Amino acid sequence: MTKFRTLDDLTDISGKVALVRVDLNLPMQEGTVTDLTRVHASAPTILELADKGAKVLLLAHFGRPKGERVSTQSLSMVVAAVQGVLGREVMFVPEIAGPVVAQSIGILRAGDIAILENTRFWKGEEKNDPELVKAIAAIADFYVNDAFSAAHRAHATTEGLAHVLPAYAGRSMEAELKALEAALGNPARPVAAVVGGAKVSSKLDVLQHLVTQVDHLIIGGGMANTFLAARGIDVGKSLCEHDLAATVEEIMAAADTAGCTVHLPYEVVVSKEFAANPPSLRVCNVHEVAADEMILDVGASAVEALADVLKTCRTLVWNGPMGAFETVPFDAATVALAKIAAALTREGSLVSVAGGGDTVAALNHAGVAGDFTYISTAGGAFLEWIEGRELPGVVALTI
Ligand code: ADP
Ligand code: MG
């Protein structure tokens, strides 16, 4: 188990200056923040530090301004949203280092909160420039990283600062690391992984790592078509990467060596056109897909068989929907399997961890996100974790 300091290790911080890396890369439409999930994730850390009397300076990036000041990507635009979630006044500082920041710290009282400007306005952020790191660190007493979602990047504010200041994991970072450790570090066995989504090619590393870690690998979504085709099954017009047949065979062989059982759908939902409730919709055995049909979901009886697999498992890692869930009724397998995982989790027989942009959307759509043990909203960082990679932002926090 990776060891790191947490907020529990911080005492006597009244009046001290805390640099807190958070995720404020909020989805926005026409200048209005449309989703506050990321602010809610870091609110406990921010409020705990403020309540302990620290002067809390929030560091975050927004968009990809590539080292230039871009007025439409200023973090001043999220101040109102952050104030709303925290229920506190939040100051905005248009710099991340230097005299303006120093002056602002002079104005802030113990327990006050400020957001510094978009860290990516400075070229040194993404280059992890030691000079920028030093300049940012100069005014602070300690550093807290609460942005797991940015931990796969070795940038000045996600990694560099941890080397020059006493460094701590925030509450959201701590929860994420504990959940991922429980799922893949030292999990209760048997472990199942559900991997779905559009393409095998986007998740090759995930599949290659998971076959060595889990007892059951359940493949769904478009990527199941690539596996089926590689096994000689005619998948018609389905989304399929025919050129990956050899890769699929390698993954199957690696699974075999590692003692991992790979589950492919044997019954599928097909249609001639990709539309909601299409007239040509039918359910069939994988061997009966016609040349002009595409596979868009896993069939209900195959889902039942997968449910039986999950019932024997103690841990589940899930990334990728089982079908084209945005279009009804191709959400059925994802919703059904999610409900089973949620019920097993509620009963206490399963530890369930899920992540991925579309996966989180699908679990929310199924109405069960709250029942999973942990849902990672970290996107790229979550995927890199389940690829078995070390995340620089996490390594830098390790003691
Ligand atoms: P995540 O964002 O959770 O990592 P992905 O981006 O890999 O997931 O995959 C999600 C996408 O895969 C969804 O848009 C979904 O519609 C698509 N998908 C799933 N199954 C199929 C299928 N059988 N045919 C085409 N697209 C599919
Ligand atoms: Mg996606």
Give yes or no for a contact between 49 and 56, defined as CB atoms under 8 angstroms apart. yes
User: Is 393 touching ligand 1 by the criterion CB < 6 Å?
Assistant: no
> Does residue 106 lie within any of the structural domains?
yes
Instruction: Give me the mean pLDDT over the 249-254 stretch.
Output: 97
**Are residues 237 and 382 both part of a single domain?**
yes
Last residue in a domain, options 139, 173, 207: 173
Give the active site residue among 16, 199, 237, 272.
199
Which residues fall within 8 angstroms of residue 361, CB to CB, at 6 or more apart? none
Predicted local distance difference test score (pLDDT) of residue 142: 98
Does 271 share its domain with 161? no
**158 and 275 inside one domain:** no
Query: Does 1 fall in a domain?
Result: no
What is the structure's pLDDT at 53? 98
Which one from 53, 357, 379, 388 is the annotated catalytic residue? Answer: 357
Distance, in Å, from the CA atom of 81 to the CA atom of 31, rounded to the nearest integer, reads 11
Mean pLDDT of 208-214: 95
Work out the average pLDDT over 74-87: 97
* 131 assigned to some structural domain: yes
With a CB cutoff of 8 Å and minimum separation 6, the contacts of 383 are: 203, 206, 319, 355, 356
- In the predicted model, is pLDDT for residue 186 greater than 90? no
Positive or negative: CA dihedral 142, 146, 151, 153 = negative
Task: Please state whether the predicted TM-score (pTM) of the whole model is above 0.75.
Answer: yes
User: Would you put residue 200 in left (φ > 0), alpha (ψ -120 to 50) or beta?
Assistant: alpha
Q: 256: Cβ below 6 Å to ligand 1?
A: no
- The ligand that comes nearest to the alpha carbon of residue 293 is 1
Q: Which among 111, 185, 236, 380 is annotated as catalytic?
A: 380
Residue 179 lies in a domain: no
What is the count of structural domains for the chain?
A: 2
Is there a single domain that holds both residue 305 and residue 343?
Answer: yes
The 10s digit of each residue's pLDDT in 369-378 is: 999 999 998 8
Q: Of 299, 292, 347, 304, give the one whose Cα is nearest residue 323.
A: 299
357 in contact with ligand 1, CB cutoff 6 A: yes
Best mutation site among 206, 325, 363, 384 for ligand 1 pocket (most ligand atoms within 8 Å of CB): 325
Is 392 part of a structural domain of the chain? no
Q: pLDDT value at position 1?
A: 62
Q: Quick one: three-class SS letters along 29-65? A: ECCEECCCHHHHHHHHHHHHHHHCCCEEEEECCCCCC
Q: Are strands 142-145 and 282-285 parallel, antiparallel or unpaired?
A: unpaired
The ligand 1 atom at the shortest distance from the C-alpha of residue 202 is 7
Residues 320 and 378 in one domain: yes
Q: What is the pLDDT of residue 221?
A: 97
Residue nearest to atom 22 of ligand 1 (CA): 222
Please report the pLDDT score of residue 377 as a whole number. Answer: 84
Q: Is there a domain that residue 2 lies in? A: no
Average pLDDT over residues 146-173: 97
Residue 362 has a pLDDT of: 96
The rounded Å distance from CA 356 to ligand 2 centre is 6
Please identify, by atom number, the ligand 1 atom nearest to the C-alpha of residue 359: 3
Mean pLDDT over 175-194 rounds to: 92
pLDDT tens, 307-358? Answer: 999 999 999 999 999 999 999 999 999 999 999 999 999 999 999 999 998 9
> Distance (Å, rounded) from C-alpha 182 to C-alpha 80?
36
Task: Give yes or no for residue 359 CB within 6 A of ligand 1.
Answer: yes
Can you tell me which atom of ligand 1 is nearest the CA of 295? 23
**Residues 354 and 211 grouped into a single domain:** yes
Please confirm, yes or no, whether 64 is among the known catalytic residues: no
Residue 199 lies in a domain: yes
Q: Which amino acid is at 76?
A: S
Residue numbers of the domain that contains 258:
187-386
Same domain, 259 and 366: yes
Say yes or no: 219 and 342 in one domain: yes
2 phi-psi bin (left φ>0, alpha ψ -120 to 50, beta other): beta
Tens digits of per-residue pLDDT, 278-300? 999 999 999 999 999 999 999 99
CA–CA distance, 29 with 119 (Å, rounded to integer)? 21
Checking DSSP bridges between strand 294-298 and strand 267-271, what pairing results, if any? Answer: antiparallel
Q: What average pLDDT score do residues 173-202 get?
A: 93
What is the whole-number distance in angstroms between the Cα of residue 199 and the centre of ligand 1?
A: 7
Could you say which of 143, 173, 203 is where a domain stops? 173
The CATH number for 229's domain is 3.40.50.1260
Residue 195's H or E segment, with its range, is strand 191-195
Of 173, 204, 228, which one is at a domain's C-terminal end? Answer: 173
Quote the CA–CA distance of 57 and 55 in Å, as a whole number: 7
Residue 157 lies in a domain: yes
Q: Is the pLDDT of residue 98 over 70?
A: yes
CA 222 – ligand 1 centroid, Å: 6
Same domain, 40 and 94: yes
- pLDDT at residue 182 tops 90: no
Consecutive H or E run containing 91: strand 90-93
Q: Does residue 274 line the site of ligand 1, with CB under 6 A?
A: no
- Examine the residue annotation and report whether 259 is marked as an active-site residue of this protein: no
Confidence of residue 2 (pLDDT cuts 50, 70, 90): confident
Residue pLDDT, tens place only, 389-398: 999 999 999 9
- Whether the pLDDT of residue 185 is over 90: the answer is no
Average pLDDT value for the chain: 96
Q: Each residue of 335-348: pLDDT tens digit?
A: 999 999 999 999 99
Nearest to 139 by CA among 56, 205, 46, 81: 56
| Residues with Cβ within 8 Å of residue 140, at least 6 apart in sequence | 17, 18, 19, 57, 165
Residue 311 has what pLDDT?
98
Known catalytic residue: 380? yes
Q: Does 245 lie in the same domain as 113? A: no
Name the residue at shortest CA distance from atom 5 of ligand 1: 197
Distance CA 185, CA 144 (A): 23
Average of per-residue pLDDT across 169-177: 96
Q: Are residues 56 and 149 in the same domain?
A: yes
**198 touches ligand 1 (CB under 6 Å):** yes
**Rounded to 5°, angle at Cα 73 from 70 and 77:** 130
Q: Which token pair is 283?
A: 């359910």
Q: Closest ligand to 322 CA?
A: 1
Q: Are residues 200 and 160 in the same domain?
A: no
pLDDT(65) > 80 = yes
